[in-house]
C-alpha cells in the first residue's frame, strides 16, 4: 500500500473513532436528553418527593375568589410526614390545609402519597386568589414537613381552564347573593310564610349548592 493510501486510511479510522466517542459521551448519565424536566414543577428532598405542582387561579383574570395549590406528595421514608404548613414566600397569602376526609393534620403516610387538589382529595386553599400571583408567572411555594423540614420550589400559576378546570377553586361565598339581598327582594310580599322558605334554603349549607357552579350561575341571573 502506498504512503498516501496509508495516511488516508489512518485519517478515516481516527474520524470514525472520534464520532463513536462523542456518541458514547452523549448517551451517558449526564447527557442533556436525560436532564429534560417535565413542564410541571417537581423536586425531591430526602424521602419526600413533590410532583405536578401548580397554583390554580380563577378562570377569568379579573374574577375575585380563592386560588388553590395542586400537587402530589410522595413519602419514601419509614416515618409518616405531616404537612405542617404551606406558604408563598414574598407574599402575605395564607394557605388553609385540609385532609381528604375529616379533620386533623394533612399526613403523608410512610411509603405512601397524598394528592392535593381535585375532587375528594386533600386541599390547600389560598382565600385571596390575587395574592397567589398572575397566571403565566411562577411563584415559590414552601412546604414545611414534620420530619424533612422546609422544601421550596417554583410553581406555575395557571387559570382553572382546560385540563385544570377540574382542579380549580370555587368562588368565595361572598360572591353569591347574601341573605340581606334575598330579604330585600320581598319586603312587600304578603306574610304567608311562603316567601321565607326560598331564602332559607338558598343559604342552607346542608343544601350543598355552594360548590355547584351551575347553581352559582342561576343565582346571579
Q: What is the pLDDT along the chain (221 residues), one digit of tens a residue?
A: 555 444 444 444 444 444 444 444 444 433 332 333 345 678 999 999 999 999 999 999 889 999 999 999 999 999 999 999 999 999 999 999 999 987 899 999 999 999 999 999 999 999 999 999 999 999 999 999 999 999 999 999 999 999 999 898 864 444 444 455 445 444 544 444 444 444 443 434 333 334 444 444 344 44
Q: What local confidence, expressed as pLDDT, does residue 170 receive?
A: 66
pTM value surpassing 0.85: no
CA angle, 82 then 84 then 87, to 5° = 135
What is the structure's pLDDT at 103?
Answer: 87
Amino acid at each position: 500500500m502506498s504512503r498516501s493510501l496509508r495516511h488516508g486510511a489512518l485519517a478515516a479510522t481516527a474520524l470514525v473513532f472520534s464520532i463513536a466517542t462523542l456518541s458514547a459521551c452523549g448517551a451517558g448519565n449526564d447527557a442533556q436528553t436525560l436532564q429534560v424536566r417535565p413542564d410541571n414543577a417537581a423536586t425531591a428532598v430526602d424521602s419526600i418527593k413533590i410532583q405536578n405542582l401548580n397554583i390554580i387561579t380563577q378562570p377569568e383574570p379579573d374574577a375575585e375568589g380563592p386560588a388553590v395549590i395542586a400537587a402530589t406528595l410522595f413519602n419514601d421514608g419509614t416515618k409518616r410526614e405531616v404537612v405542617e404548613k404551606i406558604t408563598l414566600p414574598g407574599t402575605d397569602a395564607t394557605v388553609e390545609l385540609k385532609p381528604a376526609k375529616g379533620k386533623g393534620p394533612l399526613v403523608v403516610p410512610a411509603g405512601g402519597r397524598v394528592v392535593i387538589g381535585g375532587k375528594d382529595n386533600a386541599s390547600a386553599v389560598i382565600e385571596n386568589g390575587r395574592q397567589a400571583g398572575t397566571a403565566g408567572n411562577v411563584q415559590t411555594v414552601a412546604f414545611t414537613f414534620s420530619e424533612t423540614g422546609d422544601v421550596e420550589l417554583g410553581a406555575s400559576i395557571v387559570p382553572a381552564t382546560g385540563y385544570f378546570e377540574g382542579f380549580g377553586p370555587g368562588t368565595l361565598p361572598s360572591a353569591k347573593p347574601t341573605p340581606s339581598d334575598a330579604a330585600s327582594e320581598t319586603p312587600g310580599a304578603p306574610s304567608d310564610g311562603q316567601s321565607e322558605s326560598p331564602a332559607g334554603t338558598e343559604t342552607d349549607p346542608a343544601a350543598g349548592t355552594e360548590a355547584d357552579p351551575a347553581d352559582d350561575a342561576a343565582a346571579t341571573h
